[in-house]
Amino acid sequence: MKDGELDSVDKSILYYLQQDARGTSSNDIAEELGLSSSTVRTRINKLEDSGIIRGYHIDIDYDLAGYPLYTKIICTASVTERDSLANSAREIHGVTAVREIMTGQRNVYVNAVGESHDDLNRIASELDELGLEIVDEQIIRDEYVCPYQGFLDPETESD
């Protein structure tokens, strides 16, 4: 499987896994697509081996988990250091996600959680110590994750 060469079956598998990877079995997907479960398992293994599926993640309500402060910290990094700084930021306690942006000064976005403003101040200080320049901080009320609809072929949709 080459990069970007997904057929409609692969895309449908990705769509169903995005909806609920933990609660969706290869049998469930096979039934939706009219395939055998072994075919679906083989396809999932190939998607994992090729790096298209990078992992399976849970969607956490941080407020209910005891971390009422959820923030996005927008940083600037030099292009030559952006990748290494973004990877280093992932190691800071409280950081939940890091996103590299390809253009502009606001090119590293860091999501972080904390129990208090002291936690967020500590995270900001550690990002600064790494060499990331903080240009903005936003407290997030909530974030919603949804599956990418483009993976679902409207002609094969059974709903």
CA distances from 85 to 22, 100, 103, 138, 149 (A): 32, 10, 16, 20, 32
Tell me, yes or no, whether 151 lies in a domain. Answer: no
In a shared domain, residues 48 and 74 = no
Q: Provide the CA 51 distance to its chain's centre, in angstroms.
A: 14
Tokens of 27: 């049998």
Tell me, yes or no, whether 30 lies in a domain. Answer: yes
In a shared domain, residues 128 and 78 = yes
- pLDDT surpasses 80 at 1: no
- pLDDT surpasses 70 at 154: no
In this predicted structure, what is the pLDDT of residue 7? Answer: 93
In this predicted structure, what is the pLDDT of residue 103? Answer: 84
CATH code (residue 40): 1.10.10.10
Tell me, yes or no, whether 158 lies in a domain. Answer: no
In this predicted structure, what is the pLDDT of residue 96? Answer: 95
Tell me, yes or no, whether 110 lies in a domain. Answer: yes
Residue-range definition of the domain harbouring residue 103: 69-139
Number of structural domains the chain divides into: 2
- φ, ψ of residue 8 to 5 degrees: the values are -65, -30
Counting other chains too, the contacts that 113-121 makes at CB distance below 8 Å and 24 or more residues apart are 113/62, 113/67, 113/69, 113/70, 113/71, 114/67, 114/69, 114/71, 115/66, 115/67, 115/68, 115/69, 116/69, 117/69, 119/69, 119/94, 120/69, 120/71, 120/94
72 closest CA partner among 146, 18, 127:
127
Q: Looking at residue 105, what DSSP letter applies?
A: S
Tell me, yes or no, whether 147 lies in a domain. Answer: no
Q: Looking at residue 151, what DSSP letter applies?
A: G
Q: Name the pLDDT band for 4 (thresholds 50, 70, 90).
A: low
Q: Name the pLDDT band for 2 (thresholds 50, 70, 90).
A: low
CATH code (residue 82): 3.30.70.920
- pLDDT surpasses 70 at 155: no
107 closest CA partner among 140, 143, 135:
135
Say how far apart CA 138 and CA 111 lie, in whole Å: 9
In tens, the pLDDT along 102-135 reads 988 999 999 999 999 999 999 999 999 999 999 9
Q: Name the pLDDT band for 159 (thresholds 50, 70, 90).
A: very low
Tell me, yes or no, whether 155 lies in a domain. Answer: no
Average pLDDT, integer, range 58-66: 89
Say how far apart CA 81 and CA 108 lie, in whole Å: 11
- pLDDT surpasses 60 at 54: yes
In this predicted structure, what is the pLDDT of residue 151? Answer: 86
In this predicted structure, what is the pLDDT of residue 3? Answer: 57
Give SS3 for 21. coil
In tens, the pLDDT along 68-108 reads 999 999 999 999 999 999 999 999 999 999 999 998 899 99
